[in-house]
Amino acid sequence: MINQKPFLRFSIILSFLLFLSCKSQHKKQPILSEQPNIVLLFIDDYGWSDIGYRNDTFTTPNLNQFKTESLEFKRAYIPTPTCSPSRLSLLTGKEAIRLGMPRHIAIDPNNPDAEYNLWPKDPVQRPSRNYLPLVEITYAERLKEYGYYNMFIGKWHLGHVGRYPTDQGFDASYGTTNAGHPRSYYYPFFKEKDDPKGFLKSGPKEGDYLTDVLTDNAVDFIKKYNKNQPFMLSFWYYSVHGPSIARKDLLKKYQDAGLKGKYAHHAAMVEAMDESVGRVRKALEAKGIADNTVIIIMSDQGGAYTNAPLSGGKKGGNALGEGGARVPLLINYPGITKANTETNIPVQSIDLFPTLIEIASGKKGEDTQIQGVSLLPILKGKNIENRNLYFFRSYEDQYAAVISGDWKLIKYHSGKFQLFNVIKDISEQNNLIGTGLAIETKLKKDIATWEAEAVPEY
């Protein structure tokens, strides 16, 4: 009879060696190999309606294509729809008013380190911060904990030198200045005083267009990236913020189509931005990493021109209208999101912080200082808990709002309220205040409670 003990011992040893081998491989690779790269394209003043598949005034073939491959959030909002606060909320997952920033940064050249500014026409003269405090935790700092390399390109508008992206968790940056917008989209782009780091002098030349210069650097970063770790590229455009100055080769097309003045320039700027989106995507494909890269495209507030059929916009005292606070948001997460899908669940930019953390770590984040919630369930085709979304600005009489499901209540310093069902009345033409709806009482109570908790006293 054959002695089976040697075979049994051999099988046990072989199984053990295979276990050790698998365990060793698991330790060396999986977190880095499984973590996707992330590209966040954050566009300035890009209206919800300024996109080809919603408005054929605009030529956006790359965004149109991206929509067919992605999940579109049709009701995405900015808590404080204006330049600096929108960036604060995106970066920290917090409602900007909780940090005392209800307006854009306005640095006083005579006192550049002043913590707050006042807006001459603000009816309540509420102070607003001039920089993001360095103690605040950014998504870049969190992603670094999970092994990510963070690259920043473009508009910062969250503080001056000493408070730049590389002071807030980013490993490198390009194109960052003190300015909230360029003086021209053609070189030289910025005033000397707004460019203390010398972005003007670091490569661009006469005839260069700002959107193209920034895109060149984004493409170059992707092409040359060779680190043994995933990356997040935060490309925050200056475009399509004013001054409305089109790329010359695109302008005539829109003028010939009948668009007048700055609106022709704006449409051409949108096309140049769309071209940039296409170039970034092609760079990912050429690198062979498109299938392992999450792409997020969002705007920081509504457009400066018409946002029809939405009411309101960046200008005109109605920035908390749908045209000012609702923005484009599309996400493509390969293997997770389904192509050409949409959701009407209301979300805000503060939700991207916990979403990024969950994408990077594979588990829910533990940050308790934020107000945002992870959008991963929605990306996977599921729902999230119903909640109120709150808004706060401080420029004019209109200053606060709350969204609850289909309903939106807008509040004014003068005591006026407006109530709209923004699903049935997307243009906010039928004010239902005083019609006896129970939702009016509820939302008035909700917003008062939120203000007492969230809005700093001065």
The helix (H) or strand (E) run that includes residue 347 is strand 347-348
In a domain? residue 390: no
Distance CA 195, CA 183 (A): 11
In a domain? residue 306: yes
Distance CA 10, CA 380 (A): 45
Nearest Cα to Cα of residue 296 among 35, 36, 50 = 36
In a domain? residue 404: no
Q: Is 383 exposed, middle or buried (0-12, 13-18, 19+ CB in 10 A)?
A: exposed
Distance CA 274, CA 270 (A): 6
Residue 246: which domain range?
34-385
Indicate the SS3 state at residue 173. strand
Nearest Cα to Cα of residue 133 among 150, 110, 116 = 116
In a domain? residue 144: yes
Distance CA 222, CA 174 (A): 14
Copy the structure tokens of residue 333.
């997460």
In a domain? residue 216: yes
Indicate the SS3 state at residue 409. strand
- Could you read off the pLDDT tens digit of each residue along the chain, which spans 458 residues? 444 444 444 444 444 444 344 333 333 323 334 899 999 999 999 999 999 999 999 999 999 999 999 999 999 999 999 999 999 999 999 999 999 999 999 988 788 889 999 999 999 999 999 999 999 999 999 999 999 999 999 999 999 999 999 999 999 999 999 999 999 999 999 998 899 888 877 789 999 999 999 999 999 999 999 999 999 999 999 999 999 999 999 999 999 999 999 999 999 999 999 999 999 999 999 999 999 999 999 999 999 999 999 999 998 899 999 999 999 999 999 999 999 999 999 999 999 999 999 999 999 999 999 999 999 999 999 999 999 999 999 999 999 999 999 999 999 999 999 999 999 999 999 999 999 999 999 999 999 999 999 999 88
**For position 199, which CATH number holds?**
3.40.720.10
Number of domains, the chain? 1
Copy the structure tokens of residue 405.
């499901």
Nearest Cα to Cα of residue 159 among 118, 197, 131 = 131
In a domain? residue 391: no
